Amino acid sequence: MLFNSTKLTLSNTMMIGVIMTICANNWITMWIGMEMVLISFIPLMNSTKNSSSSESMVKYFIMQTISSTMFMFSVICMLIGVSMLLNEIMLMTSMIIKMGSAPFHNWVLMVIESIEYSIVLIFLTILKIPPLTVMYHINSKFLTIPVMMGLIISSVSCINQSSMRKTLVFSSIFNLSLMLTSITKFNLMFTFLLVYSTNLMFLTEIFKYMKINYINQIMFNEFSLWMKLNVWINLLSLSGFPPSIGFVTKLMIIQELISMNQLLLTMILMLSSLLVLLFYTRMAFSSMMISYSFKKWSITIKTKPAHFIMSMSILIFPIILTMKTVF
């Protein structure tokens, strides 16, 4: 995505909307912030490389309009004093639709296929911040069922995918469910989102550079061993394989769940994590095991940013543990 003046303005407006939602002290300001994000993001989805991007824009607009309407309806009902239980469920449902979490995730799979990797990164990270902020303020006690559904559906569906973008979506749903388990601890949730966003940023940049759209393209390509090793480490980090950085945040959330005595949720999280780990490990090892042709005189190790990315996923593990112990 080239940042011309229009896209730069839209990106700034989108970030203003995100900050407005985070800093808001009433429901109407939150709604205005989310609408600013919506209006700014839709033009960014337009791509000259893919003719079906306009269809994705319309689908995204319709789903976001439905969730915003439900949000405003529940706020109005709250102001006139209708049943608070019904309002809480409706607010929670509207935010789950807006985030694209399970069980309302099918529209994300239709939208994601026709947009570029740089927009996919924004879609799966920055656009999740306003709904998560609203969910933090709601603090609903009915979140357990959507979280369990998200963990199970995403881990099972991940195994059957061939599209790389859909795989990233199911990974996002899984990590979103983990964030919703720690919704009462804003610092922990934000730390997890930051680590996940960093991992996803590295991975999408690599996929964009390697022009990977399907999983079999990882296994059969002519890229160097260092590039394949980079993909391997980042995939393992995204899956939460120890001792990568993704494992630390998952461990912190499991520790928090055990301290809250949520044993059933902890068990489902750990079993679904094994399925996700199985899929990513299989994909990562397959990309390393497939041989490739190279020239003997081209075996030279050069310092590249990719090597820094790869090493950071591993070396930041003891740093975070130390910070957690100190602070």
Q: How many CB atoms lie within 10 A of CB 267?
A: 11
Q: How far apart are CA 42 and CA 35, in angstroms?
A: 11
The per-residue pLDDT for 208 is 84
The per-residue pLDDT for 285 is 72
The per-residue pLDDT for 110 is 87
The per-residue pLDDT for 31 is 93
The sign one gets for the Cα dihedral 297, 300, 305, 306 is positive
The per-residue pLDDT for 7 is 83
Q: How far apart are CA 24 and CA 129, in angstroms?
A: 13
The sign one gets for the Cα dihedral 193, 195, 197, 203 is negative
Q: Residue 123: what residue type?
A: F
Q: Residue 301: what residue type?
A: I
Q: How far apart are CA 239 and CA 233, in angstroms?
A: 10
The per-residue pLDDT for 317 is 56
Residue pair 121/201 in contact (Cβ under 8 Å)? The answer is yes
Q: How far apart are CA 174 and CA 111, in angstroms?
A: 18
| Per-residue pLDDT tens listing for the chain (327 residues) | 455 788 888 889 999 999 999 998 889 999 999 999 999 999 888 866 666 778 888 899 999 999 999 999 998 888 887 777 788 888 899 999 999 888 888 899 888 888 888 888 999 999 999 999 999 888 878 888 889 999 999 888 888 888 888 888 998 999 999 999 888 888 888 888 988 898 888 888 888 887 888 877 777 666 677 777 777 788 888 888 777 788 888 888 988 889 888 889 999 998 998 888 888 887 777 666 655 555 444 444 444 555 555 555 555 555 555 555 544
The per-residue pLDDT for 237 is 82
